[in-house]
Structure 1
Amino acid sequence: MSTENERSATGSVAYREVTDSKGRVYRVGETDRDLLGRSRKFMVYLPWVAMMAISVSEYAYGSAEDTLSDAHGWTQSNTFWILSVWVFFQAGIAFPAGWMREKGILTARRAMFLGAALCLVGFVALAHLDDVFLAICGFGVIGGLGSGLIYATCINMVGKWFPERRGAKTGFVNGGFAYGSLPFIFIFNYAFDTGNFDEVLDLIGVYVLIAVLICGWFFRDPPKNWWPSEIDPLSFAGNTKSARSLAKNPPAVKQFTPKEAVRSGMLPLMWITVVMTAGVSIFGISFQVDFAKEVGFGPLVAASSMGVMAVVNGVGRAVVGWLSDLWGRKLTLFFVIVVLGLAQFGVIWAGDLHSEWLFLFFAFLSGFGGGAFYPMFAAMTPDYFGENYNATNYGLVYSGKLVSGLFGGGLGSMVVDAWGYNGAYALAGGVSMAAAALALLLRQPGRPRRLDIAPNPMPVSREVV
């Protein structure tokens, strides 16, 4: 029975719900302009801008560490642990934030506003608090929570508005979280010193606040089970690009609750893979500039290597997101993690040869692999478990990064002290290769292996009230 007449009578746009042969419900009939008043592309560009704004907190931090240590009287280990705590809380807030959003406690707009305010507090604390414990509480805890709220909200927003082609869109938005830091990397290397560090950090905090507030004002989630009207959810007929992507990455067989996703075994496997891969990525972000200086490369090469890593890290996320729509998420994820592992061994080789150009090349590869896996997990989570509980399910998967932050930054510094940079980078490469092997075990719950990269069989449609 159709609900079209009933919905029209209330003044809302007519829609109907269709159910496929596996019981999955799709809400069709409402266009993005009906719901938003504008194209859903705005739900790509606005999260992208917000992600670029908060990228300075993680990807430019390594370039600011020396000045922060001198200005506040901190040790190198102190500054690494501040970043590690930031990563812990940035990733840790994803699950509770997702739960609050799905329970209606926290809207997308409020999450963005709250996150913007917390980020400002974090930068002010980093600028004005000499006590390392207070700096950890201010930037690491409060700033990390703010960035995490913004990050999780932006990623989930894209996945909900583009259920049929989320790889490229998620990758594009996720990329902003890396290359958005590029101007700040060079600022921290060339125009950031003990005489102006506090003013610079205060201004950055205000910049993040304003950018995120403006973007967040327009955030709005689609209705549950919403599906774009131009794509037939039963046959995948319609837009050619979307049809190709759905053939390689079919929709989840149903909407998995977090408990069901955990019981499937796939969400815990994703979590472990994130822990390992993100740990290697964070290690590279934290130590690449210092390793370059240790080897004897000049400040330009050190800054450029981090700049190259940030740009390729971000652009790679967009490229790999697009590629996953063609290859499939699993194969693309495996490829990315292997590249990340090989790059760690390449950095050692370049350092031993004292080759600046070779070092920049492997910084390129490390940046590519160290960022591109994030949009893969962001796209795979709703691919495997559906969109309705994606904020919570992805929050669980992404929470693996909170463990990664500990051994990628803080514990990584201990490994460097004990084994030197070569030993630490070799360990990172080995961890990445093990993660690639685990990625091969991933499969979509409820779908036979032979159909992992095939479209759904033609389902029977029924309309429900």
Structure 2
Amino acid sequence: MSTENERSATGSVAYREVTDSKGRVYRVGETDRDILGHSRKCMVYLPWAAMMAISVSEYAYGSAEDTLSAAHGWTQSNTFWILSVWVFFQAGIAFPAGWMRERGILTARRAMFTGSALCFVGFLALAHLDNVFLAICGFGVIGGLGSGLIYATCINMVGKWFPERRGAKTGFVNGGFAYGSLPFIFIFNYAFDTGNFAEVLDLIGVYVLIAVIICGWFFKDPPKNWWPSDVDPLSFAGNKKSAQSLAKNPPAVKQFTPKEAIRSGMLPLMWITVVMTAGVSIFGISFQVDFAKEVGFGPLVAASSMGVMAVVNGVGRAVVGWLSDLWGRKLTLFFVILVLGLAQFGVIWAGDMRSEWLFLFFAFLSGFGGGAFYPMFAALTPDYFGENYNATNYGLVYSGKLVSGLFGGGLGSMVVDAWGYNGAYALAGGISMVAAALALLLRQPGRPRGSGIVPNPMPVSREAV
């Protein structure tokens, strides 16, 4: 059944609100160009560019730690805890930001502008504050909040504009958060020292500020319940690629509020899986360069291993996003987490063998698994719970990273001190294996196990006025 409304938000195109057999409402009839004035592809490339800009904060940080320690007089533990606090606040802001976005308190553009300013302050703090506590407040708290605002806004933006094919699009945007750091990894390893560190960090802060502001200026959300005009929301006919993806990843049976998503049991399970998997990923980011140096590999291999991890981490996100449209999100997620766990044991083996090429290979696998699970959860959340409350629901799921940041970085350093790198990597591998098993328990709320899409034969009419 369907109910026709007078006009769309643009004031020029009629739309219908179509209700399927389970009561879910789809707003159809308006194209992306009717709403934006141009193709929705820009809502892929702009978030991607912004994610590229902020990636330096996390994925290049490990390459800058030695210089920062020497310049400010910090210990290795100090630098690890700065990153851990950054991760905590970067992930922690996702839920409150989503809550404010869905209530109209914080627009997408305002979130991007605020985030860019906070990131800028964070880099200034890292460059000019010797006091560890002040650096934690500046880069860890303020910079983390800024990056989290930008990250959450970008991920939710692409998910809203591509509800029928979000795996590949979300993976592509999410990938920028990793491989965007590649130039800075090599800068921090080869052209970053105690004589120029402040100037370099200041310039990076300016770069992030300008890039994010430019991207955020063009951000705009689609109307609630919007569905692309080239895919029928009842029969899923129209676009072949979209139909294939929807067959493997059927839309949520309804728009779940955060309370309903929690009561389903699936959101808490997703949260626990994120905590475990993200902790292993952050551990690898934090310690891979240092482990390579301790084993005796040269600075080129150490930098290259992190560079390989960043590139594969980012490219892997795009690849698995595309793959999940073919295989299904759950199977793809299990595969990714399993690879991450096996890679941790491989890193130990490569270190024991003193094999640089083997080390780079397992850095490749670790980078792949350590990033590719993020877009899977970003796509699974609206797949399971719908788009209307996705900013809040995904904020809850992603908040698992704030817990994992503690044991992945700060507590990870304690495990390294107590058990050595081999013991720490073995523990990380075991945690990944448990997380992979938990991923197999995920299922879409309200849809029977093993059920697919049963097309509704009722046609949907689209009339323009």
TM over 0.5: yes
CA shift, 1:3, in A, is 6.4
Counterpart position of 1:23: 23
CA distance in structure 2 between the aligned counterparts of 1:361 and 1:9, rounded to whole angstroms: 51
Aligned in 2, Cα 1:347/1:126: closer, same or farther, shift over 3 Å? same
SS at match of 1:368: helix
CA shift, 1:459, in A, is 9.6
Aligned in 2, Cα 1:5/1:287: closer, same or farther, shift over 3 Å? closer
Deviations 1:106-157 (A, max 9, x none): 0000000000000000000000000000000000000000000000000000
TM-score, normalised to structure 1, is 0.97
Contact 1:87 1:140 in 2 (8 A): yes
CA distance in structure 1 between the aligned counterparts of 2:55 and 2:370, rounded to whole angstroms: 14
Deviations 1:222-244 (A, max 9, x none): 00000000100000001100000
CA distance in structure 2 between the aligned counterparts of 1:134 and 1:91, rounded to whole angstroms: 20
CA shift, 1:460, in A, is 9.8
Contact 1:21 1:459 in 2 (8 A): no
Aligned in 2, Cα 1:95/1:25: closer, same or farther, shift over 3 Å? same
Runs of 5+ consecutive residues of structure 2 not aligned to the other structure = none
Deviations 1:202-257 (A, max 9, x none): 00000000000000000000000000001000000011000000000000000000
Deviations 1:361-420 (A, max 9, x none): 000000000000000000000000000000000000000000000000000000000000
CA shift, 1:12, in A, is 3.4
Count how many residue pairs are aligned between Structure 1 and Structure 2.
465
Runs of 4+ more than 2 Å apart: 1-6, 8-12, 452-465
Identity of aligned residues (%): 94
C-alpha RMSD over aligned residues = 2.1
CA distance in structure 1 between the aligned counterparts of 2:456 and 2:446, rounded to whole angstroms: 12
Counterpart position of 2:430: 430
Contact 1:121 1:138 in 2 (8 A): yes
CA distance in structure 1 between the aligned counterparts of 2:2 and 2:273, rounded to whole angstroms: 44
Counterpart position of 1:70: 70
Aligned in 2, Cα 1:197/1:224: closer, same or farther, shift over 3 Å? same
Contact 1:248 1:455 in 2 (8 A): no
CA distance in structure 2 between the aligned counterparts of 1:380 and 1:8, rounded to whole angstroms: 29
Contact 2:7 2:14 in 1 (8 A): yes
Runs of 5+ consecutive residues of structure 1 not aligned to the other structure = none
Aligned in 2, Cα 1:145/1:18: closer, same or farther, shift over 3 Å? same
Contact 1:125 1:139 in 2 (8 A): yes
CA distance in structure 1 between the aligned counterparts of 2:250 and 2:118, rounded to whole angstroms: 38
Deviations 1:178-220 (A, max 9, x none): 0000000000000000000000000000000000000000000
CA distance in structure 1 between the aligned counterparts of 2:191 and 2:139, rounded to whole angstroms: 21
Aligned in 2, Cα 1:5/1:427: closer, same or farther, shift over 3 Å? closer
CA shift, 1:27, in A, is 0.1
CA distance in structure 2 between the aligned counterparts of 1:2 and 1:180, rounded to whole angstroms: 44
Contact 1:250 1:454 in 2 (8 A): no
CA distance in structure 1 between the aligned counterparts of 2:9 and 2:344, rounded to whole angstroms: 62
Aligned in 2, Cα 1:455/1:333: closer, same or farther, shift over 3 Å? farther
Contact 1:18 1:463 in 2 (8 A): no
Counterpart position of 1:287: 287
TM-score, normalised to structure 2, is 0.97
CA shift, 1:13, in A, is 1.8
Deviations 1:67-103 (A, max 9, x none): 0000000000000000000000000000000000000
CA shift, 1:11, in A, is 3.4
Contact 1:121 1:143 in 2 (8 A): yes
CA shift, 1:7, in A, is 1.8
CA shift, 1:52, in A, is 0.3
